């Protein structure tokens, strides 16, 4: 469903701030795979997601989604294939617009926006049902401005919006990091359910190792702009936090080792 072939990105090339953020990443995701992505700060996790989403062009490599080469497409064109939830709950919704208007915007992702009415009656019934499934009582507040919702409610709504027009790929960029633990676990649970119900191919960045182990069908670890660990299937189900920490240290060590070899 998703293919990255030797994707490279360097920020501020030719300046003192030059930083290679992605060092030739290759990755293949099968349809329906749910990958959790872990790694330290600056490992390139968000950079990889942004590269896929098309926030900026990559330096080299190929990105294809569902067999379509999207490397040359800008962010809003790639949105046809991708649902996204961001770390900042304020980022994923339009605060001065109503809940149903936000859903209607998401429902039209990947379609031409013409002069038909922005929210139709039949859609409303659909949104009502979808909101009811969240169990947050939002279905009775469909004309409430989203700006009045709490962070958790907003993230739940953004998740719903991301999945409304079933995307080929769902990108969750630390989408529970800004929430309190109780709300975070609710939103995670909801993510699991939405992914399972829609059989979505998903990438989820998290800083929480237990979450990374507990959720998803595959786990990748990044370091220094590279994928240093890739575990799936039975091996992932047997994985413990201690294993992961050790592998994290090993991976980082190997990275340092190769760096040292290159430099010497």
Return the residues of window 49-88 that contact another protein according to CB under 8 A: 53, 75-77, 79-80, 82, 84, 86
Q: Does 132 bind another protein (CB under 8 A)?
A: no
d(CA 10, CA 23): 8
CB contact at 8 A, 119 and 101: yes
> Could you say which of 15, 17, 41, 96 contacts another protein (CB under 8 A)?
96
Q: How far is the CB of 104 from another protein (least distance, A)?
A: 7
Q: How many CB atoms lie within 10 A of CB 14?
A: 7
Nearer to another protein, 12 or 237 (CB): 12
Q: Does 116 bind another protein (CB under 8 A)?
A: yes
Q: How many CB atoms lie within 10 A of CB 220?
A: 23
**Where does this chain touch another protein (CB under 8 A) — which range of 19-27, 97-105, 229-237, 243-251?**
97-105
Tokens of 143: 């004309």
In terms of C-beta distances under 8 Å and separation of at least 24 residues, what long-range contacts does 60-64 make, across chains too? 60/6, 60/7, 60/8, 61/4, 61/5, 61/6, 61/7, 61/8, 61/24, 61/25, 62/3, 62/4, 62/5, 62/6, 62/7, 63/2, 63/3, 63/4, 63/5, 63/7, 64/2, 64/3
> Could you say which of 40, 66, 110, 151 contacts another protein (CB under 8 A)?
110
Q: How far is the CB of 210 from another protein (least distance, A)?
A: 28
- Print the binding letters for residues 10-49 with another protein: x by CB under 8 A, - otherwise: ----------------------------------------
Contact positions vs another protein (CB under 8 A)? 53, 75-77, 79-80, 82, 84, 86, 91-97, 101, 104-106, 108-111, 113-119, 161
């Amino acid at each position: 469903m998703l293919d990255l072939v030797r994707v490279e990105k360097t920020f501020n090339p030719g300046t003192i701030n030059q930083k290679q953020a992605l060092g030739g990443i290759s990755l293949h995701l099968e349809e329906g795979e749910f990958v959790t992505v872990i790694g330290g700060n600056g490992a390139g996790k968000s950079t990889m997601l942004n590269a896929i989403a098309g926030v900026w062009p990559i330096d080299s490599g190929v990105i294809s989604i569902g067999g379509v080469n999207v490397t040359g497409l800008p962010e809003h064109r790639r949105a046809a294939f991708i649902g996204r939830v961001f770390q900042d709950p304020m980022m994923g919704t339009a605060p001065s617009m109503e809940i149903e208007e936000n859903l209607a915007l998401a429902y039209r992702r990947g379609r031409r926006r013409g002069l038909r009415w922005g929210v139709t009656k039949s859609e409303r019934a659909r949104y009502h049902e979808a909101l009811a499934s969240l169990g947050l009582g939002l279905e009775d507040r469909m004309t409430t401005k989203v700006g009045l919702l709490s962070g958790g409610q907003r993230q739940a709504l953004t998740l719903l919006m991301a999945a409304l027009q079933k995307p080929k790929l769902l990108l969750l960029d630390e989408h529970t990091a800004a929430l309190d633990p109780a709300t975070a676990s609710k939103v995670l649970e909801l993510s699991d359910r939405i992914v399972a119900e829609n059989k979505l191919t998903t990438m989820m960045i998290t800083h929480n190792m237990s979450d990374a182990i507990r959720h998803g069908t595959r786990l990748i670890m990044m370091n220094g702009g590279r994928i240093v660990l890739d575990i799936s299937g039975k091996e992932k189900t047997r994985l413990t936090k201690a294993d992961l920490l050790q592998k994290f240290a090993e991976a980082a060590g190997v990275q340092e080792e190769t760096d040292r070899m290159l430099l010497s």
